[in-house]
């Protein structure tokens, strides 16, 4: 059983390297030895930390780390609805107004300030707290996808279920989507972001296919509103970009929105989540892959967000999946194929790919934003969930397993005996 460990680490830490080697994701045996289990639990967290460290190292001109080590836009402070007087005092102290956004649908106003030259954001926040003790200021944090992809271009999945599923109207905040992919045939894809110059990206395309696509590749209808907050830029995935994406989805009155991204707590993100929920939008988010001992990850950990964890083909929780109060439901999150830009498919693993399977069920329950929608959807989904683990809701599986039937349609070769 230990022979699987080096291969799995290569795949999780560097999916592109695995693809170049032509190595498929391995099917793990049951009852893993404790050392292997512990290593797998740590691997998810290390994957994200490695991505963060790589971003910070390669784009140090544009990014800096917060006290937790999470990446944020260098020298930028996000101010939430600052009053005119403290804003003027901040400018007198050397802060510059970079841009201002009025998110009319959400009744939010944000101002991005640039700290004085040579001042780190940590110091800038302390300075602003003295200038405006009642104000709300935070990092312009970066949020990253919560899963791994790997495989060989041109591979095809085995024939899964050919039964078409009724189309849904659903939103996505992620990377760019390859709207021409066969798995999205018949889906009306409305794209936003990148000033109209966005490019399809692997994570966004994979999540989109699981959220709105058809594994058989047949036309199935439905509408996908896909917001690209990355745009291939070093500062892609910032909370301010996420704010603009939320405003667009609110204007389009998209009831259910999938968020397969994770990061630290942030005052602007918390305000955005509250504003969207107040308007009756349902947010479904991946809980993350940092392991059972990890701190909660956001936005899934905010109250009212439907947090989704991931299980394997035997309905075992993925070792790297986050546990805790944020977990509301479990869904298949390994041994799945999803779309890859250019018409191919790729194996995927992680809570990023379990979340859209739950979000599409939620989208079938509510067609337009309405007060109390999250509570109603949660209740309906809970009534359909298959209890796993201890009786009742628990911090590993939440209310239980949803979308188990999706596994057959999106299954990989590894499920074949």
Are 139 and 110 in contact, with CB atoms under 8 Å apart?
no
Q: Which of 144-158, 217-231, 341-355, 364-378 has the lowest mean pLDDT?
A: 144-158
Q: Which of 13-17, 91-95, 290-294, 356-360 has the lowest mean pLDDT?
A: 13-17
Q: Is 249 a residue whose pLDDT tops 70?
A: yes
Which neighbouring-strand residues pair with 401? 330, 386
Cis bond leading into 406, ω under 30°?
A: no
Q: Is 108 a residue whose pLDDT tops 50?
A: yes
pLDDT score of 44: 59
Cα distance between residue 130 and residue 86, in whole Å: 10
pLDDT score of 14: 40
Six-digit token string for 171: 């939103």
Q: Is 150 a residue whose pLDDT tops 80?
A: no
Please state the rounded mean pLDDT for residues 29-40: 53
Task: Decide which of 9 and 171 is more confident.
Answer: 171
Residue located via tokens 């970079």: 98
Q: Look up the CATH number of domain 144-415.
A: 3.40.50.200
Kindly name the residue from 271, 352, 399, 403 that is annotated as catalytic: 352
Kindly name the residue from 66, 132, 174, 228 that is annotated as catalytic: 174
Residue 352 is among the residues annotated as catalytic for this protein:
yes
Kindly name the residue from 203, 216, 228, 399 that is annotated as catalytic: 203
SS3 string, the chain, reads CCCHHHHHHHHHHCHHHHHHHCCCCCCCCCCCCHHHHHHHHHHHHHHHHHHHHHHHHHCCCCEEECCCCCEEEEEEEEEECCCHHHHHHHHHCCCEEEEEEEEHHHCEEEEEEECCCCCCHHHHHHHHHHHCCCCCEEEEEECEECCEECCCCCCCCCCCCCCCCCCCEEEEEECCCCCCCHHHCCCEEEEECHHHCCCCCHHHHHHHHHHHCCCCCCCCCCEEEEEECCCCCCCCCEHHHHHHHHHHHHHCCCCEEEECEEECCCHHHHHHHHHHHHCCCEEEEECCCCCCCCCCCECCCCCCCEEEEEECCCCCECCCCCCCCCCCEEEECCCEEEEECCCEEEEEECHHHHHHHHHHHHHHHCCCCCCCHHHHHHHHHHHHCECCCCCCCECCCECCECCCCHHHHHECHHHCC
Q: Is 401 a residue whose pLDDT tops 50?
A: yes
Q: Look up the CATH number of domain 67-141.
A: 3.30.70
Cα distance between residue 177 and residue 306, in whole Å: 23
Q: Is 83 a residue whose pLDDT tops 50?
A: yes
pLDDT score of 27: 44
The domains of the chain are located at 4-44, 67-141, 144-415
Which of these, 230, 168, 183, lies nearest to 348 by C-alpha position? 183
In the Cβ-directed half-sphere of 200, how many Cα atoms lie within 13 Å? Answer: 18
* Percentage of residues in the chain having pLDDT higher than 90: 74
Residue 335 is among the residues annotated as catalytic for this protein:
no
Residue 387 is among the residues annotated as catalytic for this protein:
no
Q: Across the chain, what does the average pLDDT equal?
A: 87
Give the model confidence (pLDDT) of 360-391 as tens digits. 999 999 999 999 999 999 999 999 999 998 89
Which of these, 144, 354, 385, 375, lies nearest to 282 by C-alpha position? 375
Q: Is 158 a residue whose pLDDT tops 80?
A: no
pLDDT score of 45: 61
* Percentage of residues in the chain having pLDDT higher than 70: 83
Q: Is 91 a residue whose pLDDT tops 60?
A: yes
Q: How confident is the model at residue 166 (pLDDT cuts 50, 70, 90)?
A: low
Cα distance between residue 307 and residue 289, in whole Å: 12
């Amino acid at each position: 059983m230990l022979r699987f460990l080096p291969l799995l680490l290569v795949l999780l830490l560097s999916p592109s390297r695995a693809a170049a080697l032509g190595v498929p994701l391995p099917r793990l045996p049951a009852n893993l030895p404790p050392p292997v289990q512990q290593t797998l639990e740590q691997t998810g967290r290390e994957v994200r930390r490695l991505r963060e460290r790589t971003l910070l190292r390669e784009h140090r001109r544009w990014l800096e780390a917060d006290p937790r080590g999470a990446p944020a836009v260098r020298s930028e402070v996000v101010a939430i609805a600052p009053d005119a007087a403290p804003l003027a005092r901040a400018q007198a102290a050397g802060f510059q107004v970079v841009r201002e956004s009025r998110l009319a649908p959400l009744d939010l106003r944000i101002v991005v300030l640039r700290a004085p030259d040579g001042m780190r954001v940590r110091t800038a926040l302390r300075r602003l707290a003295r200038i405006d003790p009642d104000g709300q200021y935070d990092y312009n944090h970066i949020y990253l996808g919560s899963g791994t992809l790997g495989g060989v271009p041109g591979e095809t999945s085995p024939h899964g279920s050919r039964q078409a599923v009724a189309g849904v109207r659903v939103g996505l905040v992620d990377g760019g989507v390859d709207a021409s992919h066969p798995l999205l045939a018949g889906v009306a894809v409305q794209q936003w972001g990148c000033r109209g110059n966005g490019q399809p990206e692997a994570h966004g395309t994979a999540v989109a296919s699981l959220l709105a696509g058809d594994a058989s590749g047949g036309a199935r209808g439905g509408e996908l509103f896909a917001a690209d907050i990355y745009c291939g830029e070093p500062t892609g995935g910032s909370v301010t970009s996420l704010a603009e994406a939320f405003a667009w989805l609110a204007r389009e009155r998209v009831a259910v929105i999938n968020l397969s991204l994770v990061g630290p707590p942030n005052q602007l993100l918390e305000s955005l989540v509250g504003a969207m929920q107040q308007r009756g939008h349902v947010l479904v988010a991946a809980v993350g892959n940092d392991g059972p001992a990890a701190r909660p990850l956001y936005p899934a950990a905010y109250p009212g967000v439907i947090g989704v964890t991931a299980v394997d083909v035997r309905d075992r929780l993925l070792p790297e999946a986050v546990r805790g109060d944020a977990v509301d439901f479990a869904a298949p999150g390994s041994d799945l194929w999803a779309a890859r830009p250019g018409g191919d498919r790729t194996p995927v693993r992680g809570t990023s790919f379990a979340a859209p399977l739950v979000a599409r069920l939620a989208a079938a329950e509510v067609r337009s934003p309405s007060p109390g929608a999250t509570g109603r959807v949660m209740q309906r989904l809970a009534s359909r969930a298959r209890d796993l683990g201890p009786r009742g809701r628990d911090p590993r599986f939440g209310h239980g397993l949803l979308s188990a039937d999706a596994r057959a349609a999106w299954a990989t070769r590894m499920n074949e005996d």
